[in-house]
Structure 1
Amino acid sequence: MNLKSRLTILSFLQFFIWGIWLISLGGYMFANFNNPIDPNLGSKVGNTYGTMGWASLFMPALIGIIADKYIRAEIMLGISHIIAGAGLYYASTVTNAGDMYWAIFFVSCFYMPTIGLSNSVSYSLLSKQNLDVQKTFAPIRVWGTVGFIVAEWAVDLLGWTQNNNQFYFAAVAGIITGLYCFTLPRIETSKSTEKKSFATRLGLDAFQLFKSPMMTKFFLFAMFLGAALQITNMFGNPFLGDFGKTTEYAESFAVKHSNILISLSQISETLFILAIPFFLKRFGIKQVMLISMIAWVLRFALFGLGNPGTGLSLLILSMIVYGMAFDFFNISGSLFVDREAKPGIRASAQGLFMLMTNGLGAILGGIFAGQVVDYFTDAAGVKDWPSIWYSFAAYSLVIAILFFVTFKYKHDPNSLKSLEH
């Protein structure tokens, strides 16, 4: 099997594991940890998802240092997947929200670093074969999204979205992925004798970007928008599941196959990636990021308006909008950081961008979203979902308006010529 095929399998498995449980975890917790009714369960679900943010603050850097200096990257990747798989097995055994918090925190500490590490392994192996990394890696990475979607469908069709089989499944997938990593070609650890401070190794040099008022504003907006990234992952499944409590919608497709409906979001994501070069060339980075924020407003507002019956088309439209909301900010934001950072700190700057969105942003989003859900939940456990989603839409709208008014950046179409190819 050639290298491209082997890395395609790695990419597929990498995100297949995550797709098994990420979307259905919230619904699982509401279905299994809410008897007797817990008025604070929304916050507990949000905080559990927030553990991915806490883990992203420090574990990718630490495991990256180990992979650079002490344990070969492909071996470290395999070890991390196996340990995360063991954590997922433990998650299948817990019976309360408190223990699930610590189980997912443990899983996140070893799974979240594998996202960047698997990319690094692919880059290194492709470079060793003198292949064009940027050109070759894109079609490989697309199979990661395909893996995520296949996992969502599998869990849905097997009827595991609200039982612990999903964690057994994810644990087995994680261990298989770890063993597969051990079969990849060797990536030698760095033999460089260059002295680097611990701060430099952790990527803290990128914090010098905060000296620029424009970059400070950008990273703050990245954090606040990052708070929105996981909200529908947390509560999309519980939201659709609650429609099943009424006879009108109990047998509807959206209730019976909520994971499949939500997977349209990831399908949309793969399609909007292809549109980014056109939008960046035509409108510029600032406008594309603003379009993303407006798309988040629509994503949440359409959830508030939709239902599994006459409002199914609105739910589907919300899933389609997600691709624009997610891709346009993450990719254009990454390009913006790459352009504004000096060559010596570009990798660290990308790490800082991820820290602000998937680290601090995810933590903020978990806390904020959980409290909003609890606020609109009555003593009987009934949630006012339209008010919940409209609150998130209002939050995104405020962010968009502030970004439009305060973030000044002039579009230079000539600087994006490379995106035409």
Structure 2
Amino acid sequence: MSIKLRLTVMSFFQFFVWGAWLITIANYWFGTKQWDGTQFGAIFATMGIAALFMPTLMGIIADRWVNAEKLYGILHLLYAGTLFYLPQVNDPQQFFYVMLLAMCFYMPTLALSNSISYTALTEGKYDLVKAFPPIRVWGTIGFIAAMWLVNLSGNKATAHQFHIAGAAALALSLFSLTLPKCPPKNIGGEKKTLVQSFGLEAFKLFTNYKMASFFIFSMFLGAALQLTNAYGDVFLDEFKFYPKYVNLIVIKYSTIIMSISQISETLFILAIPFFLKRFGIKNVMLIAMFAWVLRFGLFAYGDPDSGLWMIVLSCIVYGMAFDFFNISGSLFVESSTSPQIRSSAQGLFMMMTNGFGAVLGSLVSGWVIDYYFTLRFTDANGLANYLQTDTTNELLGKFIHERGSSILPDGLLSAEILLKDWHHIWLAFAAYTLVIAILFAVLFRHKHEKTVS
């Protein structure tokens, strides 16, 4: 099997094992388990907490002591075991700790998979900007395949999504034995400083203004990515509470509609070499930021009926928003650092985006949504008017019952019912990314030499 084919298979399963549950876990949490919404924000924060230290730590180990592909396989084996255990957890607090453990095993593999690909392609004398995106695109295809499998098999709200992901992670762990060897770049006999001995050279990148500003803005943009992962599918799913939308196919297959975002990724990934060579990292990142603004703005005004085109267009725009930030950023870090700190530099990028960025996005957005954009209903008529129906509607009665409430003789609800104000939530997210884009345009300094090839 050729190097490119092996890296392609690795990329496919790297994201399959994530896509099998990332977009649908909200349905499992709110629908099957019926756990508290505030606690759910903490579940998504586990990715950020793990990414704060694990990608950098594992990157240092791969740079100094252990082959990257061996470490990669071990981590996926541990990730698989944790996923198999997760459905047995029936307490939300315990679920948090088990998910945190799973993320400690998984998050470093995102950076390690990049490092393995870059090492193998460099040693094979390939042009990274041209060779890597067509390989990475299969990761997106794997993510889509997992989403479709879970949705079409009727498991988007069941524990089987974790079983599917666990089985694939186990297979990937075994497949890692076939990956190209990526030994540490640790040259014996050299006299090393304490920083070099512990593999901390990558942190020196923060002393460079361009790299430091790039990492900081990556953190803020990483927060935007977590917003769409955490709330995208549940946003569409909540339209089922509106009688006028309940029978639309979009509601039943909301995960497949959201997968348009990943399908779009496959196209924009292949455009990265052209855009990077012609426009440079600053302009490509700016395009990504304004794409995020459009993504959230379209969600704010979209709906599953007459506004379906806005939701679909938002999903298409997502491909540009994600790829031009995440993959172009990874290539920029690779081209701006030495092979000796390849894995730890990629880990550092992952720490800023999926670490600090994820924590910022998950925790702050959860607080803002609960405090500013949560609608509280104590009157049945008020709730019925908001959902564009009346109190005699059977669907409304079922919804109220599922929320642990009932309609009292005086028309009041026996328990308060909460709904999210999605329109203003998405507008707030759009405003946030617009501010980040403007600041990035002013503060990030990078001179690009245009090339056409």
Please indicate, yes or no, whether the TM-score normalized by the shorter chain is above 0.5. Answer: yes
Match for residue 230 of structure 1 among 223, 226, 229? 226
Match of residue 402 from structure 1? 439
Letter in 1 for 2:126: D
Identify the residue that residue 410 of structure 2 maps to in structure 1.
none
Displacement of 1:361 after TM fit?
A: 0.7
Distance 1:154 1:382 in 2: 29
1:92 aligns to what SS in structure 2? helix
In structure 2, C-alpha distance between the alignment counterparts of 1:248 and 1:313, rounded to whole Å: 17
Query: d(CA) in 2 for partners of 1:281 and 1:189?
Result: 30
What is the Cα deviation at residue 75 of structure 1?
A: 3.2
**Shift, 1:229, TM fit:** 1.0
User: Identity across aligned pairs (percent)?
Assistant: 51
1:341–1:294 distance in 2 versus 1, CA, 3 Å: same
Measure how far apart 1:234 and its partner are: 0.6
Q: List aligned pairs for 1:102-113, cutoff 5 A.
A: 102-113=97-108
Measure the CA separation in 1 of the matches of 2:30 and 2:236: 12
Shift of 1:253: 2.5
Mapping of 1:211-250 within 5 angstroms? 211-250=207-246
Q: What amino acid is aligned across from residue 268 of structure 1 in structure 2?
A: S
Show the 5 A alignment for 1:139-218. Answer: 139-184=134-179, 192-193=187-188, 194=190, 196=192, 199-200=195-196, 204-218=200-214
Q: 1:85 to 1:249 in 2, by over 3 A?
A: same
Partner residue in 2 for 1:380: 417
Letter in 2 for 1:96: D
State the AA in 2 paired with 1:360.
F
Residue 69 of structure 1: how far off its partner (Å)? 5.5
How far residue 312 of structure 1 moved from its aligned partner, in angstroms, is 0.7
The whole-number CA distance in structure 1 between the counterparts of 2:32 and 2:196 is 44
Q: What is the TM-score with the length of structure 2 in the denominator? A: 0.81
Cα shift at 1:305: 0.7
TM-score, with structure 1 as normaliser: 0.87
Amino acid at match of 1:132: Y
How many angstroms apart in 1 are the aligned matches of 2:213 and 2:108?
Answer: 27
Equivalent residues in 2 for 1:7-156 (5 A)? 7-34=7-34, 38=36, 41=37, 43-67=38-62, 71-125=66-120, 130-132=124-126, 134=128, 135-156=130-151
Q: Which has the larger radius of gyration?
A: 2
Amino acid at match of 2:31: A
1:71–1:349: structure 2 CA closer, same or farther, 3 Å change rule? Answer: closer
Task: Quote the residue 1:355 is aligned against.
Answer: 351
Deviations 1:256-300 (A, max 9, x none): 111111111111122122333444455443333222222111111
The 1-side partners of 2:274 and 2:58 are apart by 37
**Hey, what's the Cα distance between the residues in 2 that align with 1:140 and 1:342?**
22
Cα distance change, pair 353–263 in 1 and its aligned pair in 2 (3 A):
same
Which residue in the other structure is 1:263 paired with? Answer: 259
1:29 aligned partner, one-letter code: W
Indicate the residue corresponding to 1:416 in structure 2.
Answer: 450
Q: Where does the alignment leave 5 or more consecutive residues of structure 2 unmatched?
A: 377-415
Q: Distance in 1 between matches of 2:74 and 2:210?
A: 40
Tell me which moved more, 138-147 or 280-289: 280-289
SS of the equivalent of 1:296 reads helix
Aligned-residue RMSD, C-alpha: 2.8
Count of residue correspondences: 410
CA distance in 2, matches of 1:28, 1:326: 25
Question: Residue type matched to 2:292 in 1?
Answer: W
Relative distance call for 1:345 and 1:181 in structure 2 (3 A) is: closer
Could you tell me which runs of 5 or more consecutive residues in structure 1 were left unpaired when the two chains were aligned.
none
Residue 386 of structure 2 is matched in structure 1 by: none
Match of 2:363 in 1: 367
1:199–1:249 distance in 2 versus 1, CA, 3 Å: farther
Note the C-alpha offset of 1:152. 0.7
CA–CA separation in structure 1 for the residues paired with 2:280 and 2:179: 40
Worse-matched range after superposition: 168-177 or 199-208:
199-208
Pairwise CA distance, 1:170: 1.0
In structure 2, distance between residues paired with 1:408 and 1:63: 29
CA-to-partner distance for each residue in 1:102-127, whole Å, 9 max, x for gaps?
Answer: 12211111111222223334445556
Q: Helix, strand or coil for the counterpart of 2:244?
A: coil
Aligned 8 A contact 1:21 1:166 in 2: yes
